Amino acid sequence: MLPNDDPNGDFNTSDHNLEWIAKLSGSYNFPYGLLASALYESRSGDVWARTVLFSGGTTIPTLALNVEPIGTRQYQTISHFDVRLEKRFKLLSTHELAVRMNVYNVVNANTVTAVTARSGASFGKPTSILPARLAEVSASYKF
């Protein structure tokens, strides 16, 4: 018997779930060097399982184990929408200045992306959410 053929090693630790992702993007060049683009992304939420911390052993004093199969619980689908506006300016004959503004998570979604998985008083408490709306302004100079 090979070391990896232990049937107990696969108990409540295997992830046989499907993940998916969908993206839709587009851009349009307006007159006068103005560019507008957008990206919409949607992906399946991660799967997870409740864990319990067992203690009291001598060789292994504490051990955290899954007490339900991975995939018993799943986070919400994560969807976000990002946009970009860019304006290009011709300077001299071969020089160009581009000024752009990106806005990430335009709709300001606050989807939960992680929770406390360990059994106890804080089980299921959100520990992370999708980052808030963020705007970024940048410029580049080409010569």
Domain tally, the chain: 1
What rounded mean pLDDT belongs to the chain?
A: 91
83 lies in some domain: yes
Q: How many C-alpha atoms does 31 have within 13 Å on its Cβ side?
A: 0
1 lies in some domain: no
27 lies in some domain: yes
Q: Where are the alpha helices (DSSP H) in the chain?
A: none
4 lies in some domain: no
3 lies in some domain: no
Least confident of 59-63, 86-90, 100-104: 59-63
Q: What is the pTM of this model?
A: 0.77
6 lies in some domain: no
Q: Given this model, what pLDDT does residue 1 score?
A: 44
Per-residue pLDDT tens over the stretch 120-130: 999 999 999 99
Q: Cβ–Cβ contacts within 10 Å for residue 11, how many? A: 11
136 lies in some domain: yes
Residue span of the structural domain in which 125 resides: 11-142
Per-residue pLDDT tens over the stretch 97-111: 999 999 999 999 999
| Average pLDDT value for residue range 5-9 | 59
